[in-house]
Amino acid sequence: MTQFKVIKLDNREDWELYLRKANSTILENSYHFCDIFKKYLINTEPEIYYFEDNNSKCTYTYLKSKTSIGNYYHLHTPYCYGGFSTNDHSESFFSLFRKNFVKYCNENKIITEFIRLSPIIHHGNNYYKKYFDYYKFHGKNLYVNLKNGYNLPLRENHRRLIKSASQQKNLIFNFDDKVNFESFFHMYNYNMEVKNVKNFFKFDENFFKNFYNNLKNDIYFPTISLNDKIIAGAIFLKNKEFLDLYLAASYPKAKEIKGCNHLLFHKFIKKISSEKKNIKFIHLGGGSDNLKYFKSGFDHSEFDYYVIKNIINKDLFEKICKVKISNVNYNTIFPDQKLYNFALSRDRT
């Protein structure tokens, strides 16, 4: 028997039920996580599209945002990762799922989608190229494999820097400093100001307040303090068998002290390894070359990270964007910024 159901955030019971049906366990798909982005983004509604055919099941969790051009919609992943949770990875089932989903999209004026595929649950799939305009390898993401425990970072230079920072008696590590979580916004905002970031990633103070209120039991917040002032911190999302680095920030003082950020990650990883035996790995993600170099110093283990950019309704896209599909450059942030940036922006002066 084939059936589908669209679950909206106003029905928490169904939201959690249908995630369980397809064994969708990553925190980014959860009710509380998606609620943060409903409050943060304008004209945006989280949805789950659930599809079932006999014993095969799939959920697709996304944010449905109204475009700035007419009564049309764009789908995108709750930051950071998402994708399809299924118990059947066959192409025949995926083809049937997509056929039904595209029909739903066409009936509801959904024209585009952008998916950051979770490298934890998606490891590359060649047949995806048949169903999406743009399905490509985006880069390598780093993780710390805790299968055999953890004692010291892999790279010798990291070990020297950690030793140096450890000798600074005024540097205090706190494993889970949630009592001071509000300090993270100020650090993060300072970093965004220095980098002149004004887009989606400049999360405002309300975002972090909602983040904490919704997820305080689902995160770790390790920090480093100097003379009772937090100078570096990171947010890790809790999942059943792994942790996911979500955001990290620091003040210039942390960079002035050799090894300060190295010490933060080292002490956190070591404590998780020794005390949280259910955690098999810590996903550190990707980033710039410098950031990847920093992360790879703890472990060289890697996941492949893929993204999807797709125009579902090409006729409507050409009509409202006044651009031919043949002229679309999928290597840009998205096929047309008039569609993409609408939901990922507010007036942030």
148-279 CATH: 3.40.630.30
**Per-residue pLDDT at 341:** 56
217 token code pair: 């039991």
In the chain, where the domains are located: 2-139+305-340, 148-279
* Same fold yes or no, 2-139+305-340 and 148-279: yes
Looking at domain 2-139+305-340, its CATH superfamily turns out to be: Gcn5-related N-acetyltransferase (GNAT) (3.40.630.30)
Cα 121 to Cα 36, 47, 116, 124, 262, distances in angstroms: 22, 20, 11, 10, 28
Threshold 0.85, pTM exceeds = yes
Q: What is the pLDDT along the chain (349 residues), one digit of tens a residue?
A: 789 999 999 999 999 999 999 999 999 999 999 999 999 998 999 999 999 999 999 999 999 999 888 889 999 999 999 999 999 999 999 999 999 999 999 999 999 999 999 999 999 999 999 999 999 999 999 999 999 899 888 899 999 999 999 999 999 999 999 999 999 999 999 999 999 987 778 899 999 999 999 999 999 999 999 999 999 999 999 999 999 999 999 999 999 999 999 999 999 999 999 999 999 999 999 999 999 999 999 999 999 999 999 999 999 988 888 888 888 888 876 766 666 554 444 443 3
The conformational region for residue 228 under phi > 0 = left, psi -120 to 50 = alpha, else beta, is left
32 token code pair: 């509380």
3 pairs with which residues across the strands?
Answer: 52
Instruction: Report d(CA 186, CA 184) in Å as an integer.
Output: 5
